Amino acid sequence: MRVSEGSGDLGVPGCRGSPSVFLCQVPPAMEAPPEPFTQSKGAARSPEGARQEAAGAGISRVGLGDQDGEGAGVASPAQVLLGGGEGRAGAAPAGEAGKHLLVLQTVHLQAGEEDEEKEAEPQGGVRVVMQDEAPVVVVGEGVGVQQDVPPGVAISLQDGIYTFHDMELMQISVLQDAAPGKSKESKSTEKFADVLLIKIDRSKEVLAVEGKVHQAPTAEELRGSELPALEGKKIQSCKPDGGGSASHHDYKEEDATPSEEADIKYTETFRAQTNALQQKEEKETFSCVLCTFTCLRMSSLNRHMKIHSDEKPHLCHLCLRAFRTVTLLRNHMNTHTGTRPYKCSDCDMAFVTSGELARHRRYKHTLEKPFKCTLCKYCSVEASKLKRHIRSHTGERPYHCSLCSYASKDTYKLKRHMITHSGEKPYQCYVCQARFTQSGTMKIHVLQKHSENVPRHQCPRCETVIARKSDLRVHLRNLHSHLAVALKCSYCEAVFHERYALIQHKKTHRNEKKFKCDQCSYACKQERHLIVHKRIHTGEKPFICLCCSKCFRQKQLLTVHFRKYHDSDFKPTVFECPKCGKSYSRWSNMHKHAETCGFMRANTITSSKGSKGKKKRCRSLEHAKQEAVDQGSFQDVSIMNMEDCGTEIVPVTYGIEMTTPREQKTEITCEMLFDTMDK
């Protein structure tokens, strides 16, 4: 919504020279096509513009009025003024060219000056109409503008500023940005062909339109042929209800039919004017007809009216950005020059305005937080922050995602959320070029992956050190939280209410051979191993070879037997002496032979690498075991059936350093099986 201010004369005592003409550029509707949810920082945006941007980005605002500090403000002029842009026949295409300038201008004329004034009329400017002696409002169509001028312009008579009594003459014309000045020629020639005359008899509250008299409150006339453009227009009051709530407008906008809109609009027009006049007379206050603003000074109102105008006469010669006031321009110029006259006495910060400095000091130094939450201990420097905080109590989520059910409490979170739909990863690690969706995520990545001083978080309950604090919290929750239902140890009767304690306790059972044979010294960790062992004492051999009826205590033994004696495809590994070529079924036997044969010593054959190295260790172990047997120190060898997946053999003592448990299991098992077979 661009609203520009023109110049003119209200014809009201004391108002000469004050703003009285408003160019109201009506946006071609709030139906901008959806765009990615992006907003450039620093872009000058009106609240309405921000709303439209958000809407265009798939962001819808739910809720009434501006209840936060981050949402749209009060109903903007684009909402409160008549929305005549989109409905005009032959209107320019959507976009800037489609916007219309609605010009209200007043002039003081004397009878007989009409022609002269017309000659002096600036392009698109003042028209003069004098009709009898009565005050006349001329609703004219600016030259080159379509016929269906929104008659709602009549409402823009500045209630509170000038009245029907005071007003001598007013022209309301509509211009188009795209063709701002067609018209001097046509104006001069067409005379009043494009001018709609409205005679106002204030005492009777009637309108005389083109000579026809209408009862003022009757909207039917407004919708009639006299004011054709009103019909179908989206009409919103520029004077909200007494409470100033935008909800009132929203309701009317959404619920009112065109005819009702006309009624509403027309009625509100008169009410606004009347109320403003009464207010002025009684309280000496000044009210804006375009919004709820009131003030005690005319100058304040004049200044305020600039926000409804698009005029920004103060131009930055460096970047051509325009500003409404000299102060704003001066502040802006400071951004070019780097001038920050307000320096903080407690730090190096400096600011363009004193207000910024004061706020900075509250944030950083005085820590003054005057805005306190009544529901918790939160307090803030700024009221808007308190408003935002209160949403965490109320759960209000005014900003809805148009693509999913998510709704956020403020615009930034919604904007951040929209990235999840676009798949965008705006943040890139400068080291490994990995991309991330949020800056914080990238920061943690850099810290954990590329930083020398990687932070570590020590668990206060155990020795665990975890890289991320959040994961430490998960660790505490999973392992150190108190459990209502006690956890029982699977090895003993101990119970624990903390998972970590149970895990630590179970470690005490590691390598614990609690299953002991009552007939010998055998002990093992698992009961099933003891069951197999006891077959040694009972003589039970449940696994029978179907070929030769030989019986075995373990399935593995039967399997090896079958392969060796009954499987023609079975090719047993043969270990030959490198010196004399004598064959052995076991490497250990071959190795023992080789020593006596004079080929090499046992400890010299352990020079291979890789997988051979693994084999080597196995061989060495077997060799050591064999030595232990030979020396009589190999007292007990337990053979336990591991179902059909192998056997586990636990040497009681080998008198040497053991290899890894896994290697022990597999390699020793093979050798011991051969031993068993040989037996």
The burial of 538, by beta-carbon neighbours within 10 Å (0-12 exposed, 13-18 middle, 19 or more buried), is given as exposed
With CB under 7 A as the contact rule, the residue among 251, 412, 565, 570 that binds DNA is: 412
Site membership for DNA, residue 300 (CB under 7 A): yes
Tell the smallest beta-carbon distance from residue 478 to DNA (Å).
5
Nearer to DNA, 483 or 544 (CB): 483
With CB under 7 A as the contact rule, the residue among 40, 374, 596, 660 that binds DNA is: 40
Where b means 16+ CB within 10 Å and e means fewer, 116-150 reads: ebbeebeebbbbbbbbeeebbbbbbbbbbbbebbb
Separation between Cα atoms, residue 261 and residue 78, nearest integer Å:
16
DSSP character at residue 377:
S
Nearer to DNA, 435 or 550 (CB): 435
Tell the smallest beta-carbon distance from residue 363 to DNA (Å).
3
For 508: left if phi > 0, alpha if psi spans -120 to 50, otherwise beta; the answer is alpha
Helices (H), 476-586: 499-507, 527-538, 555-566
With CB under 7 A as the contact rule, the residue among 385, 461, 534, 614 that binds DNA is: 385
Question: Are 667 and 622 a contacting pair, CB within 8 Å?
Answer: yes
Site membership for DNA, residue 327 (CB under 7 A): yes
Site membership for DNA, residue 659 (CB under 7 A): no
Site membership for DNA, residue 419 (CB under 7 A): yes
Tell the smallest beta-carbon distance from residue 452 to DNA (Å).
15
Site membership for DNA, residue 444 (CB under 7 A): yes
* Sole residue written with tokens 């890789």: 610
Residues 581-610 that bind DNA (CB under 7 A): none
Residues 504-523 that bind DNA (CB under 7 A): 510
With CB under 7 A as the contact rule, the residue among 108, 202, 303, 534 that binds DNA is: 303
The residues near 490 (Cβ < 8 Å, ≥ 6 apart) are 506
Residues 333-352 that bind DNA (CB under 7 A): 335, 349, 351-352
With CB under 7 A as the contact rule, the residue among 123, 147, 188, 439 that binds DNA is: 439
| Distance from the Cα of residue 192 to its chain's centroid | 56
How many residues bind to DNA according to rule CB under 7 A?
Answer: 105
Q: Is 120 helix (H, G, I), strand (E, B) or coil?
A: helix
Helices (H), 312-410: 326-337, 354-361, 383-394
Site membership for DNA, residue 473 (CB under 7 A): yes
Name which of 636, 639, 637, 655 is nearest 647 in CA terms.
639
Site membership for DNA, residue 479 (CB under 7 A): yes
Nearer to DNA, 118 or 369 (CB): 369
With CB under 7 A as the contact rule, the residue among 97, 319, 474, 548 that binds DNA is: 474
With CB under 7 A as the contact rule, the residue among 131, 267, 464, 666 that binds DNA is: 464
With CB under 7 A as the contact rule, the residue among 118, 184, 202, 415 that binds DNA is: 415
Q: Is 456 helix (H, G, I), strand (E, B) or coil?
A: coil
Distances (CA, A) of 201 to 136, 208, 264, 356, 560: 9, 8, 20, 53, 120
Site membership for DNA, residue 178 (CB under 7 A): no
With CB under 7 A as the contact rule, the residue among 123, 225, 451, 478 that binds DNA is: 478
- Binding window for DNA (CB under 7 A); candidates: 127-135, 227-235, 468-476, 604-612: 468-476
Name which of 517, 514, 487, 485 is nearest 500 in CA terms.
487
With CB under 7 A as the contact rule, the residue among 205, 471, 540, 630 that binds DNA is: 471
- Binding window for DNA (CB under 7 A); candidates: 117-125, 255-263, 356-364, 548-556: 356-364
Nearer to DNA, 248 or 475 (CB): 475
With CB under 7 A as the contact rule, the residue among 383, 483, 547, 574 that binds DNA is: 383
Tell the smallest beta-carbon distance from residue 513 to DNA (Å).
15
What letter represents residue 280's amino acid?
A: K
Site membership for DNA, residue 364 (CB under 7 A): yes
Q: Give, in degrees to the nearest 5, the angle at Cα 664 between 662 and 669.
A: 110
Helix (H) or strand (E) holding 169: strand 169-176
Nearer to DNA, 127 or 361 (CB): 361
Site membership for DNA, residue 324 (CB under 7 A): yes
Site membership for DNA, residue 69 (CB under 7 A): yes
With CB under 7 A as the contact rule, the residue among 193, 319, 486, 503 that binds DNA is: 503
Tell the smallest beta-carbon distance from residue 38 to DNA (Å).
8
Question: Are 409 and 399 a contacting pair, CB within 8 Å?
Answer: yes
Site membership for DNA, residue 528 (CB under 7 A): no
Name which of 93, 170, 180 is nearest 142 in CA terms.
180
With CB under 7 A as the contact rule, the residue among 4, 108, 363, 597 that binds DNA is: 363
What letter represents residue 549's amino acid?
A: S
The pair of structure tokens assigned to 573 is 């590994």
Site membership for DNA, residue 445 (CB under 7 A): yes
60: β partners: 400
Nearer to DNA, 193 or 503 (CB): 503
